[in-house]
Amino acid sequence: MLNCSETEKLLDLYLDQELDPQTKEKCEQHLGHCSRCSELLELRKQERETIINGFPVPELAAGFSKQIMEKIANPTLNRTPSKNPWLKKWMLPLTAACLVALVLYGAFSQGIFSSPQDAMLTDQKLEQSREIANVTEGNSSASPQKDVQEGTITPEPALPPDAIAPDERTVNNGSDLDTGVSSGQITPISPTNAVLTPQYLPAGFVRSSASSSGYVGKGGSPAISILSFENPQTGGRLCLEIITVNTGAEMNAQDTPVTTDQAQDIALHQMATRYVEKSGQGYWVRIYGDVPQTELNKVLDSLK
C-alpha cells in the first residue's frame, strides 16, 4: 500500500500512463480512499490542461508541402542562405584579422614593441645622455675641489628624460598616481630654471640631476621639482624636493607624494623640511640624504 508522499511522486507517471500495472494498481487503490491525493491528481490534470491549451500553433499554409517538394525536386533551390553569420566564409578571417590588429595595436601602444622611429629616438637620447655625462664628468674632474670649497653648484645642461635617476622616476610616477597629476612626463630642468637653488652644499657633493613634474592638479596642486646631489667619492646622496603650495599652506601627505622606495630612503636617512616664500609664492622644501642634520639645515638656509 502506498502512502501519500509516494503516491504524489507517481502522479505524473500515472497521468502519463507510464506506470507498470502493479504500481498503477497500488496508486489507484490509494487514490480511491485518499481525498487529498485525489484533489492533487485533479490539480495536476488541470495544470496539464492549462499547458496543453495554453500554447496554440498557427496552421501551415495550403501550398506549404508544394514548396518542400519543389526544393526536393530542384536541389538548387534548396540552398538557402545561412542565417548564421559565423558560417559565412569571410566572417572568420575578418574577425581573426581584426583581433590580430587589435593585439598588435595594444602591444605597440603599451611599448612592448617599439617602432623603428621610437628606436631611433631612443638611440638619439642615449647618445645625448652619454654626451652630457661626459661633459659633467669633465667639469667635475676639472675643478671638483674648487666647487666643494666654494659651496657652489656645477652648472649642468638640461638632462634628457632617460638620464634622470631611477628613483626620481619613481617619485614622479608616484605623484601621478597619488595626486592625479595629468601629465606623467618628467621635465628636466637646469639650475637656472629651478625655482629655488641651494647656495651651500655639504663637502664633496655635486649636483647629479634635476627635474620637475609638469602637471595640472585639482585646485592648484603643487608642482614638484627635484634636485639630486651626490658625493662621487663617498657615494653619498642628497635629494631636495621643492613643492609649490599656496601661501601659508600646510605640508601634508597629499602635497608630498611618497613612493615606497622614497619612504624607505627617508626612513633610512636624515631629513629636514622647511616652508620658504619667494616672490609671493610659497614652497615646501624637503631634503634628505646621507649627511648630518646640521648640514641639511645649512642647505635649506642657503636656498635662494
Longest CA–CA span in the chain (Å) reads 119
Here's the x/- map for other proteins, 17-56, by CB under 8 A: it reads as xx------------------------x--xxxxxxxxxxx
Please, which residue, 13 or 158, has the CB nearer to other proteins?
Answer: 13
Cβ-count burial 266-293 (b if 16+ within 10 Å, e if not) = beebbebebeeeeeeebbbbbbbbbbee
CB of 70 to other proteins, least distance (A): 10
261 binds other proteins (CB under 8 A): no
By beta-carbon proximity to other proteins, the closer residue of 77 and 142 is 77
Phi, psi of 247 (to 5 degrees): -60, 130
Q: How far apart are CA 54 and CA 65, in angstroms?
A: 27
User: What's phi and psi for 71, nearest 5 deg?
Assistant: -70, -35
C-alpha Rg value of the chain to the nearest Å: 41
Q: Which one, 67 or 143, has the nearer CB to other proteins?
A: 67
CB of 62 to other proteins, least distance (A): 10
Cβ contacts of 93 within 8 Å, gap of 6 or more:
none
In whole angstroms, the minimum distance from the beta carbon of 124 to other proteins comes to 51
Q: Tell which positions 83-122 bind other proteins, by CB under 8 A.
A: 83-86
- Give, for 186, the enclosing helix (H) or strand (E): strand 186-188
Interface with other proteins in residues 68-87 (CB under 8 A): 68-69, 71-73, 78, 80, 83-86
Distance of closest approach, residue 17 Cβ to other proteins, in angstroms: 8
Task: Write each residue from 52 to 71 as x if it is in contact with other proteins (CB under 8 A), else as -, in one continuous string.
Answer: xxxxxxxxx---xx-xxx-x
**Shortest Cβ 56–other proteins spacing (Å):** 5
Q: Which helix (H) or strand (E) holds 126?
A: helix 116-142
**Cell numbers representing residue 11 in the block:** 502522479
Contacts of 233 (CB under 8 A, 6+ apart): 204
Q: Which is nearer to other proteins, 54 or 93 (CB)?
A: 54
86 vs 90 by CB, closer to other proteins: 86
Give me the sign of the Cα torsion angle 37, 38, 43, 44: positive
| Interface with other proteins (CB under 8 A), residue from 5, 16, 90, 250 | 16
For other proteins (CB under 8 A), the number of binding residues is: 35
Query: What is the amino acid identity at position 83?
Result: K
User: Which parts of this chain interact with other proteins (CB under 8 A)?
Assistant: 12-13, 16-18, 43, 46-60, 64-65, 67-69, 71-73, 78, 80, 83-86
